[in-house]
Amino acid sequence: MPRTYLVTGAASGIGAATTALLRERGHTVLTADLEDGDLRADLSTAEGRAALVAGARDLAGGRLDAVVSCAGVAHFDPLTIRVNHFGAVATLEGLRPLLAAGRDPRALVVGSIDSVHPTDPALMAAADAGDEPAAVAAARAAVDRGEGHLVYSSSKAAVSRWVRRAAPATPGPAPASRSTPSPPAWS
C-alpha cells in the first residue's frame, strides 16, 4: 500500500537515491532541500526548520507516514552541527504530530560511519544538552585549533545519540531509527 514520505536532503546523494527508490515503488514523496524540492528550507536556521514543518503540514494535509532525514553537510564549519544535528532533531520533533496522524509511522535518520570516530567533547556536550549556541561555539573552537575534522564526526555521533534517546520515548507506533549510508530496502 502506498505511503507518504518526506525526505530531507532530497536534491542529491543519499536523499536523491532514497527519493527515486521510494517513487519507483509507488510511494508519494515530498522532497525538501536547500535549493530544490517541494519544500525549500535551510535546516541550519530556526526559521528554515519552522518553514519546513509548516510547509510539510500544508503539502501533506496534516499527516505523514514516514520521514527520512538525509540532509547533511561535511564542512569544517559550525554549519555542519547546525544542519546534521540540530536540523535533523528539529525536523523530527516538528514533524512528530504529522507522523502521529500517519499510518504505521516511521522516522529514519541517515547517519555515518564517522559517528564512531573521535569527537569533540565540548561539541558533544552542547549537542546532547540541546544548546545550539554552545555547540556552534564549540565547533568554531575546534576549527580554530585545527581540529575541524571533529565537527562532522561529532555532528553524526550527536544525532545518533539523540535517536537512541528519543526512540524509546516516542509514544505509540512511531519508532525512529538511524542508518549508515546505504539506501534502505523499504516496501
pLDDT tens, position by position, 35-49: 999 999 999 999 999
Residue 136: pLDDT over 90: yes
Distances (CA, A) of 87 to 1, 93, 170, 185: 30, 10, 19, 25
Residue 52: pLDDT over 80: yes
Q: Name 68's bridge partners.
A: 7, 108
- Of 40-54, 59-73, 139-153, 170-184, the least confident: 170-184
Q: Which residues are catalytic?
A: 152
Instruction: Dump pLDDT digits (tens) for 155-181.
Output: 999 999 999 898 866 555 444 554 444
Determine the pLDDT at residue 169: 60
Q: How far is CA 12 from the centre of its chain?
A: 14
pLDDT band at residue 1 using 50, 70 and 90 as cut-offs: confident
Sheet with 4-8, side-by-side order of all strands: 39-40, 28-33, 4-8, 66-69, 106-110, 176-179
- Of 56-70, 110-124, 136-150, the least confident: 110-124
